[in-house]
A and B are shown apart, each in its own frame.
Chain A
Amino acid sequence: MTVLAVDRLVKHFPIHGGLLQRRVGAVKAVDGVNFAIAKGETLGLVGESGCGKSTVGKTILKLIEPTSGRIVLGGEDITALKPGAMWPHRRRIQTIFQDPYSSMNPRLSAGTIVGEPLENFDIARGRERDERVAALFERVGLRPDSMRKYAHEFSGGQRQRLGIAKALSVNPDVIVADEPVSALDVSVQAQVLNLLIDLQEELGLAYLFISHDLAVMRHISHRIAVMYLGRIVELTDKRTLFARPLHPYTEALLSAATAPDPRRQRRKRAIVQGDVPSPAKPPPGCHFHTRCPYAVADCKVKDPPLREVAPGHHVACHLR
């Protein structure tokens, strides 16, 4: 059952310049993205900085208005909803942020932060709210008596648990997790990843898991979408992605990633050269052709569409 579907999602940020602040161009942060997430499933969105993965997350949450395309949450089109009309839908889609330090108001107690959505949606108030918050604290592995403490009194991993408790408080269907473990140390990261997996299996949550870390992706995702300069270049189940990557960019990512295995250093890596072009001026044709070792003349002029080359395996490349 699909809980979230995104169809040809586009987000362009205008660039203003000149004396009159006229629009002189646009950063094509997200440039036509399609995917769907089912109940209980984790879709990983992986890519390097500036590929638009975080913008996808924020647009789906309607923290940013999409330029065009469709966002369907639980069968309802939320694309064009104004903030007021969007409000009731927020119960079904929640988020966990990357930075547990800045995503919590430093002036509020942990209990107030976690219980805020409960108040907002009039689910529980007063004592009932406190009881619910205490139960949430316990569920994510925090002491309920730490409710009165402030966010800065918690360690990084504990704050991420607070963020998870807050997201869970309204029983959402979907959680958008934007780099939820990249600010954490390895040993703490393991605790948070385990918690996320446990909660998903228990509650049937769907995750859109955004990360740049392929190893984390491989651990938590069911399916993975690889993004490059605002577009999805490959989308398939994780086993296929790691065993038989088809897009040259996916290949490059996998080859560039380090692994805790000293014998790998002997192996000669295929390293893509050059930098990611600016999303304000993406190259024509396939966005990756400037760095692609296999690029042919066609790649420089024609946009490769995202095609299904095998059941469930989508690739945007002329050569595959």
Chain B
Amino acid sequence: MVAIADDLPLPPRRFSLASAIRRNPTIAFGGILLFLLIAVAVIGPSFVGDPLKIAPVNRLRPPSERWWFGTDQFGRDLFTRSIYGSRVSLIVGLSVAAFSSVLGLALGLACGYFRAFDAIVMRVMDGLMAIPSILLAIALITLTRPGLGIVIVAIVIPEVPRIVRVVRAVVLSIRAQPYIESAIAGGTRNAKLLWRHVLPNTLAPLIVQATYVCASAMLIEAGLSFLGAGVPPEVPSWGNIIAQGRTFFQIAPWSILIPGGFLALTVLAVNLLGDGLRDRLDPRLARRL
């Protein structure tokens, strides 16, 4: 009989939070920042007042003890409005990321698997990518009534090709892996091959790409609101606040800088998280993309 080969050489490494943070500082920093922003968006509004309350007496007050972030031209408290605004941004960012991931994953898997389907769908995707996403979104919104839902749909459509491309590329590279051939030779059939061997490997790059889509969706939403094509002007979103503050920028710069800063901080948090995850989940992929 064959001798039992020696036991495995690697000792298990113990997991500790401190060393995890030390090893992945970008993930930790981005993750914590994003967590704080989400917490603000979820529970913040219950602690602040009414974002729509107009007080013409207190128009364009600079930041002070009473109005932390100052007030706008109608005397509305910008702190309250900014907190509410974070809700819109995060809802748009997260839902666009979620919807475009699901749609992009399905299309990408199909493209990587069926050549005829691939030829058609990828040309459509190329077409979509050739149109600036903000213009496409404006065009879609003008067809209907403005609202949060339609903004999300309008951003999802131009973002889907980015996901499809990544998923398709990953599927194609996985299909060329020897372990796929090995599975086929071992009698594994298509459905199981897809579910067990291909799908799990697409998740890491998908999550990474989703974070970028999330960041870009928040920027597009702000852009749309700024142009007046996004959420209705009565809803306090960062884009709306900036749009309304722009006429008074020279006398009340805080009304733009503060929501702008929030937006930048949120996008930064999401991007840091994405970069960290990319490096952590697959260092080779990071170089390839």
A residues in contact (CB < 8 Å) with B: 58, 61, 63, 83, 87, 90-91, 93-95, 97, 99, 102-105, 107-108, 116-117, 120-121, 139-143, 146, 149, 153-155, 157-158, 161, 163, 166-167, 169-170, 191, 194-195, 198
Contacts and interface: CB of A to CB of B under 8 A. Distances in A.
Contact of B187 (A87, A139, A154, A191): A87
A103 B178 contact: yes
Interface string B113-146: 0000000000000000000000000000000000
Nearest to B183: A116
Given A90-B186, A120-B187, A191-B2, 13 more contacts: A103-B178, A103-B182, A107-B201, A120-B186, A120-B192, A141-B3, A141-B5, A142-B5, A149-B8, A153-B10, A166-B182, A166-B186, A195-B2
Contacts of A63: 181, 184-185
Given A99-B178, A155-B8, A107 B185 contact: no
A136 to B, nearest CB: 12
A142 B196 contact: no
A116 B188 contact: yes
B59 interface: no
Given A63-B184, A117-B186, A121-B187, A97 B178 contact: yes
Nearest to A122: B187
B181 A154 contact: no
Nearest to B8: A153
Given A91-B187, A103-B179, A141-B3, A154 B192 contact: no
Contacts of B184: 63
A163 B177 CA distance: 15
B280 to A, nearest CB: 15
14 contacts: A58-B181, A63-B181, A90-B186, A90-B187, A94-B185, A102-B179, A104-B179, A116-B183, A116-B186, A120-B189, A143-B7, A153-B8, A163-B182, A191-B5
A117 B187 contact: yes
A120 to B, nearest CB: 4
Contacts of B185: 61, 63, 90, 93-95
Nearest to A84: B189
Interface residues of B, number: 26
Contacts of A153: 8, 10
B196 to A, nearest CB: 7
A71 to B, nearest CB: 14
A247 B187 CA distance: 39
Nearest to A155: B9
A157 B6 CA distance: 11
A167 B182 CA distance: 9
A105 B197 CA distance: 7
A94 B186 contact: yes
Contacts of A121: 187
A161 B5 contact: yes
A163 B182 CA distance: 9
Interface in B157-196: 177-179, 181-190, 192, 196
A117 B192 CA distance: 12
A102 B187 CA distance: 18
Nearest to A88: B187
A83 B184 CA distance: 10
Contacts of B200: 107
B187 A170 contact: yes
Contacts of B201: 107
A167 B186 CA distance: 7
B4 interface: yes
Contacts of B181: 58, 63, 97, 103
A161 B2 CA distance: 11
A107 B181 CA distance: 16
Contacts of B7: 143
Contacts of B9: 155
A87 B193 CA distance: 13
A95 B182 contact: yes
B123 to A, nearest CB: 15
Given A120-B192, A153-B8, A195-B2, A105 B187 contact: no
